[in-house]
Chains A and B, each alone.
Chain A
Amino acid sequence: MHRYANPTRFLKIARIATPLTLALGLILTIAGLYIGLFASPPDYQQGESVRIMYVHVPAAWLGSGGYLGLAIASATALIWRHPLATIAARAIAPAGAAFSAICLMSGALWGKPTWGTYWVWDARLTSMLVLLFLYLGYLALAAAETERGGERKGAAILALVGAINLPIIKYSVEWWNTLHQGSSISITQGKSAMAPEILTPLLVSVAGFTFLFAAIVLMRMRALLAEQRVEARSRRLAEAVA
């Protein structure tokens, strides 16, 4: 584990992995969305508005999956003090926040024609909104800590505490009566309540969004590392001049 925590080694891998994940992400997202929007059938109940799902579901999964990554990176930073873990957490947060926002907005646009409302305060929608606020809180706290310098623990602790929201989002539709329907896909039981014509473009789109997410995180991590190096160098220069 320590082997890969070395920033120099990481940068060497990331230089190759970034364009690779970016290309895969773009190809799969375009393919998934093309099949989803043009070459797949409408739903028997919802008609054409089902196509919003090909954006909504991948965004929702990556919004919450990203938070899991943020929490794991924060725990690693707190316990093992890996400098790369903090960088990873800082890089994941804005991407996760963006995907959660896409999920909420596409969900609102999907809710109006199907349910008859943009928004209700049911358990699923509310817990997803809380996830976006957790991301925004993390970003604000992390920015303040970076500015102030010194030990940076607050944001990592916030990320860990917020992880309790993840099972709430996942099981909200089972624990309470909600307007949002239950899960169509169960990975643990290997079941899907979706016809294959609808499931296939969804999975392609999910794969595409995942690679795009990875590419964004890699790019941001490289930028943050470069920023750190520039800062360290200018600090040394300033000291040498003084």
Chain B
Amino acid sequence: MKLKAKHQRLTLVVGALVALGGAGVLAFTALGDKATYFYAPSDLAAALPTDAIRLGGMVEEGSLVRAGETITFRVTDMRAQRAVTYTGILPDLFREGQGVIAEGTFDPASGVFRADTILAKHDENYMPPEVAGAMRKTASVQE
């Protein structure tokens, strides 16, 4: 049976797309976490990396200490945490309980992460301040 030219082209395009998709999946698997923008504290092995990396997670509640322009805090992903120190200007959204990405290196002696850049992450929740205030109140009543 000979296919109509139209159907031949359809098969060709669908086949090409399937092959392309397969190539994409293979490329992804090879890429792995190389395309990741930052590592979470629990992604890091016991032996700390010596190169510059980005460390990301939440600023642990109650861990932030300010001493002039220098701050120290702990980054947590709820499974592991790391102490971070930074001197400089912070983005407006930087605060306890919010996402943060720190670029820098680990101090091999103390294991403290020395950041030279701090970026604030924000989450996918959007609400007016009054709603957030009301929610915080309900949460503290429940505690």
Contact = CB atoms under 8 A, between A and B. Distances in A.
Contacts of B130: 41
B127 A113 contact: no
Given A41-B128, A44-B127, A114-B92, A178 B122 contact: no
Given A79-B10, A164-B24, A177-B40, A123 B123 contact: no
Interface of A: 41-47, 50, 53, 75, 78-80, 113-117, 120-123, 160-161, 163-164, 168, 175-179, 181-184, 193-195, 197-199
Contacts of B122: 45-46, 114-115, 181
Contact of B37 (A43, A179, A195): A179
Closest 5 pairs (CB-CB, A-B): A116-B91, A41-B128, A44-B132, A122-B37, A195-B127
Main secondary structure of the interface of B (DSSP, over half): mixed
B24 A115 contact: no
B40 to A, nearest CB: 7
B98 A45 contact: yes
Given A45-B132, A114-B91, A122-B37, 7 more contacts: A42-B128, A43-B126, A44-B127, A44-B132, A161-B20, A164-B24, A181-B122
A122 B35 CA distance: 8
B13 A114 contact: no
B52 interface: no
B140 to A, nearest CB: 16
Interface string B23-51: 01000100001011111100000000000
A79 B127 contact: no
Interface residues of B, number: 43
B56 interface: yes
A52 B130 CA distance: 20
A113 B69 CA distance: 20
A194 B119 contact: no
Interface in B45-70: 56
Most central of B6, B20, B92 by chain A CB within 10 Å:
B92
Given A79-B6, A178-B37, A116 B120 contact: yes
Contact of B126 (A116, A117, A177, A198): A198
Most central of A42, A123, A182, A195 by chain B CB within 10 Å:
A195
Given A120-B37, A176-B33, A79 B9 contact: yes
A181 B123 contact: yes
26 contacts: A41-B129, A41-B130, A44-B127, A45-B122, A46-B122, A47-B92, A78-B9, A79-B9, A80-B6, A113-B91, A116-B117, A161-B20, A177-B37, A177-B39, A177-B40, A179-B119, A179-B121, A181-B122, A181-B123, A184-B125, A193-B123, A193-B126, A194-B127, A195-B131, A198-B127, A199-B126
